[in-house]
Amino acid sequence: MSDDPFRHRIRVRYSECDQQGVVFYPHYLAWFDIAMTELFRAGGHPYGEMIEAGADMVVAEAGIRYRASARFDEEVDLTARVTRLGSTSITTAIAAQRAHDGEVLAEGELRHVFVDLATRRTREIPAPVREALAPFTAEAEPIA
């Protein structure tokens, strides 16, 4: 486990901005989803492999605090740390930070529940997923 969170850089696209020239608020949830996908990839178990093995995860809770605005063409670092790795669910603290100065733009928490693709019922976290997420797991306060 590292003290540093997982980090993935994106660039704000023009289509993500509203009439005020700032990122329209629902895009942060889409960015958080990108962070989750890249977190799995960085752990060595791409999300698609979990699907192929018959498991998926669904969002059970999502919360976001907006703190500053991002604008077109700025680089944004998405950071993520698994704060709870349960038997059937994970909780992840995620933040969007302006890349050049580290200012937190938005921060939040996602809770995913694992389901069996065939039955759509809750299931245990697959062992390969648990292993992939272990390096990013820290029982800690959400990222700020």
Beta strands in the chain (DSSP E): 6-11, 55-66, 75-85, 89-98, 104-116
Q: Hey, what are 38's tokens?
A: 């890249």
Distance CA 143, CA 2 (A): 14
Distances, alpha carbon 14 to alpha carbons 7, 20, 66, 137, in Å: 22, 12, 19, 34
Q: Hey, what are 50's tokens?
A: 């979990």
CATH 3.40.50.150 fits 6-136, yes or no: no
The pTM assigned to this predicted structure is 0.89
**Would you write out the chain's pLDDT as a tens digit for each of its 144 residues?**
456 789 999 999 999 999 999 999 999 999 999 999 999 999 999 999 999 999 999 999 999 999 999 999 999 999 999 999 999 999 999 999 999 999 999 999 999 999 999 999 999 999 999 999 999 997 544 443
Q: Hey, what are 105's tokens?
A: 């733009």
